[in-house]
Amino acid sequence: MKKFNVSLLTGALLASTSVFAQTTAITNATVHTMTEAGVLEGATVVIENGTITAVNPGNVSADKTIDAQGRVLTPGFIGSMNQLGLVEVSAVAGSRDGGDDKAGIDFDASPAFNPRSSLIPYGRKGGITQNVVIPHGGKSIFEGLAFVVDLSGEFNSVLKTSTALVIDMDASGSGSRAMKYKTLTEKLEAQQEKLAKGKKDDKKDAKKPSREELVLTAVLKGEIPVVAEVERASDILEVLKVKEQFGLKLVLWGVNDAVLVKDEIAKAKVPVVISAVSNLPSSFSSLHAALTNAGKLERAGVKVLLSGFAFEGAHNLYQLRFDAGIAVAHGMSYEGALKAVTSNIAETFGLDGGKIASGQRADLVLWSADPFEFSTTLDKLWINGEEVSTESRHDKLRERYTTDSDMPRAYTK
């Protein structure tokens, strides 16, 4: 009896391992690798256990083979700077979890993330496989901590927390923006002094640092970037000075006036997150908003990341590929736009993904043609190596209201 149980258990384990280790080969694809390999025609990509294990191997041996028939294979697109999973209906307060009046430096909204939000399947339809979610904070200039999720819809889809500290350095409805710089520099200086004093004292019974102090320490050590929301050119230059003073790992966000100081941004090697479709000034700080800005920044040598509008981005994440296409139509290179929604975001925020190469996370999208074209369809999508449905609430509503039924037109059985 004992021997039977052991062999039965062994067989079950072997069967489980076999299923988990299933390999998938995508063959005959036009692969945009986002690496030095460039674009590979008629290429093969092999994925296993959530990872890309080979690109164009000599011999292909897989449990499942998908013939792409020359179609386009890209890394999964990565959204950023939005409240996906933290807001469902903007006008309904009970469905908004992105901010709080008491929010500050250590505000982490990830426990409130809802992986079953109806906005997530809709984002998948646009080829989005990961997203950098940001809080919108409270009354402080410190909005809180960004975190990273995948769009699998699973309850374990929060991949990384404390990804970046988000700060608001833009103009306010009241008060002076000069006070924002004072607040920021004083916080950083105070933490610098604490760290210096701690090194000198080196006491075993030293007071345990607060969560706020841990975040500031990570920022000062360059372990996490600071995402500064800023628009006006003069403000961008001031933020660059703060970066230089404290040795920060900085990311600029918004930056509709960045074209005026693009050379300074490129020299400082600071990435920018910009909306490709921001073409009208929303304030006196963004008078130079234009559809040509992404292309101008790219040509100046700035690493560009494309995102939608912050508070609309969660609902319109699907449109990111069209935004990238608009950027290309107004002067951005095709490869630059593709990097701006894949590898540039992954590199800036330290994510696994954004490239098609051996060892990378298997977030992949198979398109019928050029993903930036309006007529192109998404044929298949993989998140962490698993093929995921692209059906959204919109599809279900269409089916409900177009299905033949004995009920009145607006209903189905």
**Structure confidence at residue 203 (pLDDT):** 62
Residues 6+ apart with CB under 8 A from 150: 129, 130, 131, 157, 159, 363, 383, 384
**Structure confidence at residue 14 (pLDDT):** 42
For residues 232 and 236, give the distance between their C-alpha atoms in angstroms, rounded to a whole number: 6
**Structure confidence at residue 1 (pLDDT):** 40
Which amino acid is located at 112 in the chain? A
**Structure confidence at residue 37 (pLDDT):** 96
CA 286 to chain centre: 24
CA angle 31, 33, 38 (to 5 degrees): 90
Cβ-contact 23, 63 below 8 angstroms:
yes
Helix (H, G, I), strand (E, B) or coil at 188: helix
For residues 242 and 236, give the distance between their C-alpha atoms in angstroms, rounded to a whole number: 10
**Structure confidence at residue 390 (pLDDT):** 87
List per-residue pLDDT tens for the chain, 413 residues long: 444 344 444 444 444 444 456 899 999 999 999 999 999 999 999 999 999 999 999 888 899 999 999 999 999 999 999 999 999 998 898 888 999 999 999 999 999 999 999 999 999 999 999 999 999 888 899 999 999 999 999 999 999 999 999 999 987 777 889 999 999 999 999 999 999 987 766 666 567 899 999 999 999 999 999 999 999 999 999 999 999 999 999 999 999 999 999 999 999 999 999 999 998 888 888 889 999 999 999 999 999 999 986 556 788 899 999 999 999 999 999 999 999 999 999 999 999 999 999 999 999 999 999 999 999 999 999 999 999 998 888 888 887 777 777 776 665 54
For residues 344 and 350, give the distance between their C-alpha atoms in angstroms, rounded to a whole number: 10
Cβ-contact 107, 147 below 8 angstroms:
no
Which amino acid is located at 338 in the chain? L
Pairing mode of beta strands 23-32, 39-48: antiparallel
Show me where the domains of the chain are located: 20-76+353-413, 77-352
Look at domain 77-352 and name its CATH class: alpha beta
For residues 320 and 327, give the distance between their C-alpha atoms in angstroms, rounded to a whole number: 11
Phi, psi of 144 (to 5 degrees): 130, -160
**Structure confidence at residue 90 (pLDDT):** 85
For residues 142 and 144, give the distance between their C-alpha atoms in angstroms, rounded to a whole number: 6
Which amino acid is located at 209 in the chain? P
CA end-to-end distance (rounded Å), the chain: 53
DSSP states of 90-106: TT-GGGB-SB-TT--TT
Say which CATH topology domain 20-76+353-413 has: Urease, subunit C; domain 1 (2.30.40)
| Topology match between the domains 20-76+353-413 and 77-352 | no
Residues 6+ apart with CB under 8 A from 391: 121
